[in-house]
Amino acid sequence: MSTLTAVLYGALVAYLGGWFFGYWSGNFALLLFTLTLFTFAYWLAERFRFKPAREAAAAALVDQDAARRAGLAKQGIERVDGDIEPARHKLLAQPWWLDWTAGLFPVILIVFLLRSFLFEPFKIPSGSMVPTLLVGDLILVNKFHYGVRLPVLNKKIIANNDPQRGDVMVFRYPVDPRVDYIKRVVGVPGDEVAYLNQRLSINGQPVPTQSLGEFYDEDSLRYEPMFSELLGSVEHRILVDPKRPTYYGGSQKNFPLHENCRYQPEGVVCKVPPGHYFMMGDNRDNSQDSRFWGFVPDGNIVGKAFFVWMNFGNVGRIGAFN
């Protein structure tokens, strides 16, 4: 078993190494689920086979020592050298391969349950949500706000709240579901979302905005015009640069349900289909979002982002956000 465990750990290290260096894309949810099953199997084997076997061997050692001492006592030898306690403790001790499998099962199980059903950590990888979220922000995602979903399969089994306009949501990128994205919900099912001449309208009504001066973007090392935007009941900040031209490239007809969108020189107008959502980044001129790759299906939802728990470059970032 020690050889098998060493081989399995070697495969795990190789998988994580290839993932870290970019040779392939990893799936942390699937990895954690696999580790939970793997360590659970060892925990069962330890509980019902290996531990009873060690205890039986230790008991046999004690019985043999007692029998030896009784035999010597019959011969008139009362004082017998030798302490079997070190040997008994050695027989009862877990080998390393059980320490690193069965011993880790409770910890891995707790992490798996917390991450799958309660809260999941997420690191902001790009500037598409500036100024709300900055690169390097470590945030928490509420996994049960939009309903309870099966781990790995991400299938909803218990409904809860529906996504609302203004929510900051983490979801599986429709183009590559192995990748998680974070954007703001702009359109819910049935909405007509228009983004024309860098102004957002929902169902024909312009979304209220107000100028807030300029924001210094540390990534681009430039000042950007900043506005407050009232989307639904959520007031938040956005960046919009009127000097930048509106351009959506030539791939806008490649995504599912693309017929719900109309592209024109001034921008795009989309009718959000049932069971889907239209997402946009708060950094409107630096965000690859639903304007480019289409709608997010309900089955791709991961959870609602709500709290920055750390930014190692700026601890003042810690706190809730809109």
Whether residue 271 contacts residue 247, with contact meaning beta carbons closer than 8 Å, is answered with no
51 is catalytic: no
Q: 117 exposed, middle or buried (CB, 10 Å; 0-12, 13-18, 19+)?
A: middle
Decide which of 112, 137, 155 is a domain's last residue: 112
Q: Are residues 128 and 197 in the same domain?
A: yes
Q: Give tens-digit pLDDT for 150-207.
A: 998 889 999 999 999 999 999 999 999 989 999 999 999 999 999 999 999 999 999 9
**Distance of alpha carbon 298 from alpha carbon 275, whole angstroms:** 6
Q: Are residues 127 and 235 in the same domain?
A: yes
Does residue 131 have a cis bond before it (omega within 30 degrees)? yes
Mean pLDDT of the chain, nearest integer: 92
Neighbours of 84 (CB within 10 A): 15
Q: Are residues 146 and 24 in the same domain?
A: no
Does the pLDDT value for residue 66 go beyond 90? no
Joined tokens for residue 278: 């239209």
Per-residue confidence (pLDDT) for residue 23, from 0 to 100: 85
Whether residue 307 contacts residue 319, with contact meaning beta carbons closer than 8 Å, is answered with yes
Q: Are residues 44 and 189 in the same domain?
A: no
Query: Which domain does 56 fall in, by range?
Result: 2-112
- For the chain, the domain total comes to 2
Name the active-site residue from 116, 128, 287, 290: 128
Q: What is the CA radius of gyration of the chain?
A: 29
Q: Are residues 89 and 139 in the same domain?
A: no
Decide which of 95, 112, 129 is a domain's last residue: 112
Q: Are residues 7 and 153 in the same domain?
A: no
Decide which of 71, 86, 112 is a domain's last residue: 112
Q: Are residues 153 and 261 in the same domain?
A: yes
The CATH number given to whatever domain includes residue 301 is: 2.10.109.10
**Distance of alpha carbon 37 from alpha carbon 144, whole angstroms:** 23
Q: Are residues 145 and 248 in the same domain?
A: yes
Q: 105 exposed, middle or buried (CB, 10 Å; 0-12, 13-18, 19+)?
A: buried
209 in helix, strand or coil? strand
**Distance of alpha carbon 101 from alpha carbon 35, whole angstroms:** 9
Q: Give tens-digit pLDDT for 205-251.
A: 999 999 999 999 877 788 999 999 999 899 999 999 888 877 776 55
Q: Are residues 151 and 278 in the same domain?
A: yes
Q: Are residues 103 and 137 in the same domain?
A: no
77 in helix, strand or coil? coil
Name the active-site residue from 116, 143, 183, 290: 183
183 is catalytic: yes
Q: Are residues 168 and 28 in the same domain?
A: no
Q: Are residues 105 and 239 in the same domain?
A: no
